[in-house]
Amino acid sequence: RLAERKELEPLVARCVASLPEPGAALLDLGWHALATERLPAALAMVPKVRRAVPDREETALFEAAVLRAQGNVEAAVRLLASFVATHPDALEARRAWAHALAAAGRRPDAIGVLDEGLKRLRAAPLLVGRAAVFVDMHDLSAAKAALDEVKTSGRPALRGEAGALRAAVLLAGRDVAGALAAVDEGLKASPGSVVALRAKARCLELSGKPADAIARLDEAIARRPGWAALYADRGAVHLRARQRKEARKALGEAKKRDATDPAVALLLGALAEEDADWSVAEKLYRGILRADPDHLDARRMLAGVVLLLGRLDQADQEAATVLDRDPKDPVAWFVRGRVAYRQERWDDALAHFD
């Protein structure tokens, strides 16, 4: 349907006019409006969908997606929590609830929601959702355990997502070849999986193929043009390739779609560092950490900036916090080594650099 957007909308409109109970067609029309970045049209569909298909999981998922598109994550959390309270076996609603909690920086709560569902049923959607939250928390062993339990079960789209998560775990261990193989398995199961295309782009960039990475991201954007993270990823590839003009353009598109996305703020901070505007970079990183104190990438970047600003003890403290979560983080060890070097603690410096 997304491949034929121009033809879809008139068709669905005719279905809505002809069906006595047009709930499914209304939902299709609403999701189509979201996919084509027409938020007012999607918002107008919410009361119609509520009337046509009340108290249904599909309705709750659609309304929560509209709320998140408006930037109202907490309202989406409340709506999904209320639905799952009365429908405890609604797997997709529970998964969406956990995803919204993670987006709000409440990752332990997200794991609790998923674990409660897994006590009722060891279902693939919940296990994949659990793995996604653990990847976000940098708890790679827990993520791998969940993915190992999933194996190859679940619908094709879920297997595509699982392949992307396996790739993320392998990339964290610097296994680029293994990550490529994992994401290719996911794309074999679900060739149109946007999350798998996004993961493939990251693998290609790390393989030294930035042009191919951009091509995969463009393919993903064509399938899901409203997802800010895809534009942020595109900006990141351009930034690392020293294409600053293209990076700014991509980040502008990402910010237009989701001004609250921490990935966008993180990359804008990196651009500020390129311009040697350390105070702006620090402000952006601290803004991310105020909303989500566990955001490891923002804390790592902050450690580097405050080092450049000459606040050595603070840089050392921020880097140590990163290492508490990820003892193998090379950037954090480098920052601690630089601090020790500048404080003439030679033995500590050598140990940290090693």
Three-state SS across 229-279?
A: HHHHHHHHHHHHCCCHHHHHHHHHHHHHHCCCCHHHHHHHHHHHHHCCCHH
pLDDT at 169 over 90: yes
pLDDT at 272 over 80: yes
Q: What is the mean pLDDT of residues 300-320?
A: 94
pLDDT in tens, 23-47: 788 888 888 888 888 889 999 999 9
For the chain, percent of residues with pLDDT exceeding 90: 66
Mean residue pLDDT across the chain: 90
- Give 2's pLDDT tier (boundaries 50, 70, 90): very low
- Give 54's pLDDT tier (boundaries 50, 70, 90): confident
Cβ pair 120, 113 in contact under 8 A: no
**How far is the CA of 74 from the CAs of 46, 68, 142, 292, 330, in angstroms?**
18, 8, 26, 14, 35
- Give 3's pLDDT tier (boundaries 50, 70, 90): very low
Q: Which of 14-18, 226-230, 231-235, 305-309 has the lowest mean pLDDT?
A: 14-18
**How far is the CA of 69 from the CAs of 84, 107, 209, 218, 228, in angstroms?**
21, 20, 32, 21, 10
pTM assigned to the model? 0.79
